[in-house]
Amino acid sequence: MSAPSRSKIRPPREGEAPAAAALVIGAYLRAVRLARGLTGSEAAGTIGCSAARLSRVETGRLHWTADATDLLERYGIDDLPSLTAVEYLLQGPHRHILSDHAPGWLDRLHACLRQAETVVIYSAFSIPHMVRIPTYPTDSLTQRLRGGPVRVRHAQVTVDNGEGVTLVVDELALERLLSQPSVWSAQLSHLRQLASSPQGPRMLVLPLDVGMIPPASLMYGMTLHGHVMVAEEGIGFVSYYTGDEAAQRCHFLSAALDAGLPFEQAVVGRTA
């Protein structure tokens, strides 16, 4: 395999939001390290750097692409497609926009979600994967594109770990679920259980009569290492936004939060 690139990544200027790629790759590196059971000091020693420098890398202050690829190789991810994907993402032309459809894209998204201090999830057309029951219907194309090797733990919202998570489901998603009577009752019961748990997520339903035009993708607004980032998940890819690019999408999420109804209030009387 060829030597890793030594390309330099420009650090953010004073007051500037971090590059989306640096935040995403940093979170991914930390998730892989934890999955391998390594402490920060142990991982730093494998590439001859300090634990403080590793911490900066993992929190979005990554200055060299080779730091990322060196760490991945030490963690056992040494196949050319994975290493090339990380180099490609870090060398993208837009600092505050990152489109990730490279191998491992879903792992990188879940690494960000698991490490985020707060997360707002908005879905207009289906129940998000993080709160679905196992029998929820999924089309074969989505299953294939979300497949592949899983190298980090994927985020799953439960009755015990939902603090800091807000789920906003468009009423349209519930209407679509009504057309699946075989899973409606069990999925609704699961969502109610999440909504009623003191440690569960905050659950809201956005009424159709609000008139907001929903995005075509699943949207995540998160605070990651103190920085605001928005992710939009499509079929087989995810796009990330920081800085001013994230601000306009945060405006939509804020409006959805303001207009949303408490879950139990919104689903009263609904039956399959």
Rounded to an integer, what distance in angstroms lies between the CA atom of residue 168 and that of residue 128?
A: 10
pLDDT at 4: 46
Strand-pair category, 227-233 with 261-262: unpaired
**Model pLDDT, residue 1:** 44
Provide the strand spans (E) within 27-134. Answer: 97-100, 118-123
Q: For residue 24, what are its two tokens?
A: 């995403």
Q: In the chain, what are the domains?
A: 18-95 (1.10.260.40), 96-272 (3.30.870)
CB atoms within 10 A of CB 73: 17
Mean pLDDT of the chain: 88
The pair of structure tokens assigned to 176 is: 């679509």
Q: With 90 as the cut, is the pLDDT of residue 70 above it?
A: yes
> b or e along 192-204 (b: 16 or more beta carbons within 10 Å of the residue's beta carbon)?
eebbebeebbbbb
Q: Which of these, 207, 260, 218, lies nearest to 132 by C-alpha position?
A: 218
Asked if residue 9 has pLDDT above 90, the reply is no
The pTM of this model reads: 0.90
